[in-house]
Structure 1
């Protein structure tokens, strides 16, 4: 068989496959149109979309148990990307995600450093109708994470940085603005003393670093001044001690729920976290 003949057969097969796929697309579109005309799955949800923003030294999987409950309760849940490179750029990334990936009202949820991110992102996203802070920072204009972490005694972040962090200089970051990793020997005590050693070890191994400069970047004007805000406070939090969280919540005029948990309430008390978010959803319609 000549090369020309083989190529012709391949092209013929590809053409036939394309025609079949096109036919399938027409059939699918027709089915979708029929469903719409009969009202099947055509009624939009009256629930706001929940957008989750993880904190430093974590990723979106930390919200997994909360996401499962919210989805069971009929909510659309999305995890926004949080690059952990700088407060201004992180907030802009989250705002762009909301503005392009969602329709209708949004409840914006932040954990830890993610609270500072949502504080700034929501001012750039008109569809955000309520904020939920989970063991989170809620800075006022001009405040930094480092400043807030040291506002009350007891935060592991307020200790000598060399005792808290392993440092890696990312070549994509300016020299002198390194990535910070929480030391594995400290991780469970600081973040998740109520979790098992094995669970905490997995979290420590999979942590995403934050650029050191992000923790020292002043916040912009806060969205909590104009939006209903809800705060879940872990009473045993060693990253943001409860007194510090309560001070930020009271300043914001927020609704507060306290739970007996460490800094990772989403993993320790997922039902409580989900319930708070659903309360925020009720206020954000």
Structure 2
């Protein structure tokens, strides 16, 4: 009997394990085990202040404390390593991350490459030559407006010790910005449903130069990158740049590259093609190398 890998799924910014439920259903129908991780301060560990409910009290929301304050990238790594250690008892593991989760995946790969049989970035940050903040100043991100969501940001991050975003805003301009960045190809109901799965708070620690991919550790892990062709928040040009940089770092262990049509969030709302792609990559994980 084949020893199928366990998929360990890691969410992006302001998200949680709940968003992986449809994908996990499709993976299960293909015969695969999976576990979705809530990073510290996410899922049922998140803070949803009463001021975030309707009617909203934005003044109070701007000052309410949040449980994610002080959470670091090292905390995220420890959470994922714990899950990987437990999953590894059952056979191979495939570590999958989306969007901001790529920072955590890379740091986990640097720390414990022995726990990962294949690492998969789904339109996720894979910092190699620069820190993630540095990539935002590069030409590939020129069409991404970093101030697009400014009206939805609440409070002073330095004082709160976290990033707080009002995803329950009714401001049509802000909602249009969210949709343009994340979900231009979803229906209105699909978009609003997904928006309501987001939590208001995210931690501040996005890593430093020490957390970029290292050839001697992370670079030993067989890896794959799933490009999202219509992603407007991490454009295809930036996804391709990170693939090139990683392949230059370890040319003997290049990315296996796949492409899915759709926006930043479509693969989670309509997950069957993604599940089939991950299943294909899982088959690769049962073999040495690619």
The reply to whether TM is greater than 0.5 is: yes
Please say which of residues 114-123 and 128-137 is displaced more in the overlay. 114-123
Q: 1:72 matched to which residue of 2?
A: 29
Partner Cα separation in structure 1 for residue 194 and residue 234 of structure 2: 18
CA displacement 1:239-279 (0-9 Å, x = unmatched) = 10110001112322212122221111422552332233223
Matches of residues 130-141 of structure 1 in structure 2 within 5 Å?
130-140=118-128
Q: 1:92 matched to which residue of 2?
A: 78
Partner Cα separation in structure 1 for residue 148 and residue 159 of structure 2: 17
CA gap 1:276/1:149 in 2 versus in 1, 3 angstroms:
farther
Partner Cα separation in structure 1 for residue 268 and residue 23 of structure 2: 8
The offset of 1:216, in angstroms, is 5.7
Could you tell me whether the CA contact under 8 Å between 1:234 and 1:258 is conserved in 2? yes
How many residues are matched?
237
Partner Cα separation in structure 1 for residue 192 and residue 149 of structure 2: 20
Give 3-state SS (helix, strand or coil) of 2:40's partner. coil
Give 3-state SS (helix, strand or coil) of 1:133's partner. strand
Partner Cα separation in structure 1 for residue 281 and residue 218 of structure 2: 13
Partner Cα separation in structure 2 for residue 164 and residue 273 of structure 1: 33
Matches of residues 189-200 of structure 1 in structure 2 within 5 Å?
189-200=180-191
Q: 2:116 matched to 1:153?
A: no
Matches of residues 177-188 of structure 1 in structure 2 within 5 Å?
177-181=161-165, 184=169, 185=175, 186-188=177-179
Give 3-state SS (helix, strand or coil) of 1:256's partner. strand
Q: 1:4 matched to which residue of 2?
A: none
The offset of 1:228, in angstroms, is 1.4
**Unaligned regions of 5+ residues in structure 2, if any?**
42-70, 170-174, 247-253
Q: 2:196 matched to which residue of 1?
A: 205
The offset of 1:76, in angstroms, is 1.0
Larger radius of gyration: 1
CA gap 1:271/1:136 in 2 versus in 1, 3 angstroms:
same
Partner Cα separation in structure 1 for residue 35 and residue 27 of structure 2: 11
CA gap 1:165/1:92 in 2 versus in 1, 3 angstroms:
farther
The offset of 1:206, in angstroms, is 2.8
TM-score by length of 2: 0.72
Q: Give the aligned CA root-mean-square deviation in angstroms.
A: 2.7
CA gap 1:121/1:178 in 2 versus in 1, 3 angstroms:
same
Q: 2:280 matched to which residue of 1?
A: 279
Give 3-state SS (helix, strand or coil) of 2:9's partner. strand
Q: 1:242 matched to which residue of 2?
A: 236
**Unaligned regions of 5+ residues in structure 1, if any?**
1-42
CA gap 1:76/1:212 in 2 versus in 1, 3 angstroms:
closer
The offset of 1:115, in angstroms, is 1.4
Partner Cα separation in structure 2 for residue 188 and residue 60 of structure 1: 21
The offset of 1:102, in angstroms, is 4.1
Could you tell me whether the CA contact under 8 Å between 1:194 and 1:268 is conserved in 2? no
Give 3-state SS (helix, strand or coil) of 1:92's partner. helix
TM-score by length of 1: 0.73
Partner Cα separation in structure 1 for residue 242 and residue 31 of structure 2: 31
Q: 2:276 matched to 1:270?
A: no
Q: 1:228 matched to which residue of 2?
A: 222
Structure number with the higher helix fraction is: 1
